[in-house]
Amino acid sequence: MRVLEIATHPAFGRTEKEHSNRQDWQNIRAMMPYVWTYRGRVLLALGCLVISKLAMVGVPVVLKYIVDGLDADSGQAVVLPISLLLAYGLLRFINSGFNELRDAIFARVRFHAMKALSVSVLSHLHELSLRYHLERNTGAISRDMERGAQSISSILNYLVFNIIPTAAEFLLVAIILLSQYDSSFAGVIFFSVIFYIGFTLAVTEWRMHYRHEMNALDSSANGRAMDSLMNYETVKYFNNDEHEITRYRDTMGMWEEAAVKSQSTMSMLNFGQALIIAIGVTGIMTMAAMGVVNQELSLGDLVLINTMMLQLFLPLGFLGIIYRSLKYALADMDMVNKLLQRPIEITDHVDARPLEIKQADIEFRNVGFHYNEDRRILEDVSFKLKDGEKLAIVGPSGAGKSTIARLLFRFYDVSQGQVLISGQDIAGVTQQSLREAIGIVPQDTVLFNDSILYNLQYARPQATLEEIREVARLADIDQFIEALPQGYDTIVGERGLKLSGGEKQRVAIARVLLKDPAILVFDEATSSLDSQSEKNILGALTRISTNKTTLVIAHRLSTVIDADRIIVLDQGRVKEQGDHEALISADGLYAQLWRMQQKKTQEVQ
């Protein structure tokens, strides 16, 4: 029998812990600007809430007089209860009607807050730097956005529809009891309610870790199952079906234990709540019944006190659920607030001006860049690219070639030195104007899961269909598109996976043509293509780069032999520069790379 020990991935078997240092009140205050836009509706909804609760508390008061009227002599019992019964029905209608009116008025507030928060989060995510987006977990961010929007709705629901109404009702009941009856009645009710709330919050807080553990194990079990199914072939290759089933069974076994404890403690909470209500109601009923016997209270008073107490405990029955859900919602809101508080690394200076292109020349002046001090990417890189020239940057993998393009787009700020376009430091111009002046055909063209037309038009949304057809023709992709059953309306699939690599590259070329920038960047645009596709794409790239300032980042040296100048990077430094012939004659790193690639090409042939 084999024994297989495999380290557990951090994503599995992890128990999610509650945010222990969360500032709940700060999170609620941070939510207020999204709500306060419709402050008139908020106040109107709160007014409806007050009317509804007044009507609700008025119901047992009217019921008292109905009972007292029916308990009176027969002469009054025929006339008096009829008007009171009408009032009773009217109060119940007002209670329900104004509750619904409150919901309808507050709907705009709630859903606007969800929309505004979601837009704020997405906008902030777009403003964060590439550094953040390379480190982020897309699925986690998506869940945070979803839960954040839902949390603001949940918090508002709990506050406006549960907590505030219950507090208002409690206050009204207190006023009635203290003004009309002996303070002992109010004392018993208040003591019962306070004990009920304290017990509920304490037990809920204690049992929440079982729920956390249950949820974490459920996620872990689901993750294990999906991971084993997504790697079905690997499981079969190594004959580890039983191992995967065992891992899943063990995790589900732990989930079963946590689920049983969660349900058992919930039953204990419900039992304790029922016991407190029963003791409180029994005590109040005993005191009220003794008051009736002693003729200090009427039967109506007995009904009034009993109804008010039951009416008060009814919403409190959901307190444990509301408290737990509110804590979850505040935790989700806390995650979103922390995301919104994350500083924006790349910002426009206060006095930033639009980039003015007189001559589209580029200069890297003593540029140094590092992600952190332990990982320096570029060191003292200097070069100039004149208007209309074609400059190629080559070098071994990890030399810092693609970083050059990212710095040019100002996805990062340089650690030292300057990057200038047309004599202007790009750190001092607006990001929008900078990126309008540059077009790129990337190594891996990622398309939106939309139509070919949408993806082409993305470069210039106001472009006409005729202009789009023209750039498609120039990129030599028009015949392919028109041969498709849906033509330009063809959906390309997620990340453009329904198109081949060459087809996606041609879409990228057409898109750059439509943008018509002053500067072109080709970031290893043919590295993943076969020889024939590469030849075709290179022809298209040559056509579109004529008379434009062009920066080519390349791995295959055969694609840049026509460049006006070639810069060779190695370990973040400029080792050599010159045209192809000069670099071959120098017999340095470039010549070495050239010979290696030529040898590989001959071996393939």
For residue 192, the model assigns a pLDDT of 84
For residue 126, the model assigns a pLDDT of 85
> How confident is residue 19, by pLDDT bands cut at 50, 70 and 90?
very low
For residue 603, the model assigns a pLDDT of 63
Q: Residue 2: pLDDT above 50?
A: no
Average pLDDT over every residue of 424-451:
89
pTM, full prediction: 0.71
For residue 164, the model assigns a pLDDT of 81
Two structure tokens written together for 92: 């119940």
Average pLDDT over every residue of 532-544:
68
Task: Give the length of the chain.
Answer: 605
Average pLDDT over every residue of 206-230:
79
Q: Residue 21: pLDDT above 50?
A: no
> How confident is residue 533, by pLDDT bands cut at 50, 70 and 90?
low
Q: Residue 395: pLDDT above 90?
A: no
Q: Residue 531: pLDDT above 70?
A: no
- Can you give the three-state secondary structure of 143-201, one letter per residue? HHHHHHHHHHHHHHHHHHHHHHHHHHHHHHHHHHHHHHCCHHHHHHHHHHHHHHHHHHH
> How confident is residue 8, by pLDDT bands cut at 50, 70 and 90?
very low
Centroid of chain to Cα 94: 40
Fold of 445-516: Rossmann fold (3.40.50)
* Domain made up of 352-437+518-605: CATH architecture: 3-Layer(aba) Sandwich (3.40)
Highest mean pLDDT among 63-77, 138-152, 549-563: 549-563
pLDDT digits (tens, 9 = 90+) for 554-576: 888 888 888 889 999 988 899 99
- Per mean pLDDT, which range of 89-98, 312-321, 418-427, 531-540 is the poorest? 531-540
Average pLDDT over every residue of 84-113:
89
The C-alpha angle 301, 305, 310, rounded to 5 degrees, equals 145
Distance CA 70, CA 513 (A): 89
For residue 601, the model assigns a pLDDT of 66
Contact 518, 549 (CB under 8 A): yes
Contact 309, 280 (CB under 8 A): yes
Contact 393, 377 (CB under 8 A): no
For residue 430, the model assigns a pLDDT of 94
Q: Which residue has the higher pLDDT, 54 or 174?
A: 54
pLDDT digits (tens, 9 = 90+) for 470-525: 888 888 888 889 998 898 898 888 777 788 877 888 888 888 888 888 898 988 76
Q: Which residue has the higher pLDDT, 140 or 380?
A: 380
For the chain, helix, strand, coil in percent to 5 are: 65, 10, 25
Average pLDDT over every residue of 249-278:
88
Which DSSP string do the residues of 98-143 spell out, in sequence order? HHHHHHHHHHHHHHHHHHHHHHHHHHHHHHS-HHHHHHS-HHHHHH
> How confident is residue 604, by pLDDT bands cut at 50, 70 and 90?
low
Average pLDDT over every residue of 347-362:
90
pLDDT digits (tens, 9 = 90+) for 275-321: 888 888 888 888 888 888 888 888 888 888 878 877 777 777 677 67
- Per mean pLDDT, which range of 79-83, 233-237, 459-463 is the poorest? 79-83
For residue 4, the model assigns a pLDDT of 42
- Per mean pLDDT, which range of 50-54, 445-449, 527-531 is the poorest? 527-531
Tokens 């710095």 correspond to 407
Q: Residue 79: pLDDT above 60?
A: no
Fold of 22-181+325-345: ABC transporter transmembrane region fold (1.20.1560)
Average pLDDT over every residue of 320-332:
76
For residue 250, the model assigns a pLDDT of 92
Q: Residue 1: pLDDT above 70?
A: no
Distance CA 46, CA 161 (A): 10
Average pLDDT over every residue of 440-465:
87
- Per mean pLDDT, which range of 75-84, 210-219, 479-488 is the poorest? 75-84
Q: Output the average pLDDT for the chain.
A: 82
